[in-house]
Amino acid sequence: MDAIDREILRELQADGRLSNQELAQRVGLTPSPCMRRVRQLEQDGVIQGYRAVIAPEAVGRGFEVLVSVEVRRDRAAVEAFEAALQDIPDVIEAYRLFGSPGCLLRIAVEDLRAYERLWIEKLTALSGVTEVNSQIIMKRIKEPTGLPV
């Protein structure tokens, strides 16, 4: 990966809807070699996809909670827990961590009442879960904008 590839990545992270023509102009290439580079970055798995960034409030998910979860430390319990998370759409990010807590979730729901329902009906009911701690997000200070390239 050279400096031009990195510039392509920076530009696409800032605006994934750039036309190939505009992208080529910004990185100092003609359209054909620019497109070849983008396709190669996609084939190599460097560019993993393109997404729209949606305002959470616009889709009824403006209430976000960071949740630390302790799961019984045996392979079957951890695998069952991780598989069950895939079926809970309110969990928008999930990370297995070293140490304690064992798992960190980012959850987006409509409001406190919806989170309470999720907490009671799903999170605490998952097999292997021994503890659930919630941190309600007051304010997002820094939005994710992509990786430094």
Q: Residues 6-18: pLDDT tens digits?
A: 999 999 999 999 9
Predicted TM-score (pTM) of the model is 0.86
Tell me what pLDDT residue 82 has: 96
> Which parts of 12-146 are beta strand (E)?
63-71, 91-96, 103-109, 129-136
Query: Are residues 87 and 121 in contact, defined by beta-carbon separation less than 8 angstroms?
Result: no
Q: To which residue do tokens 């530009």 refer?
A: 11
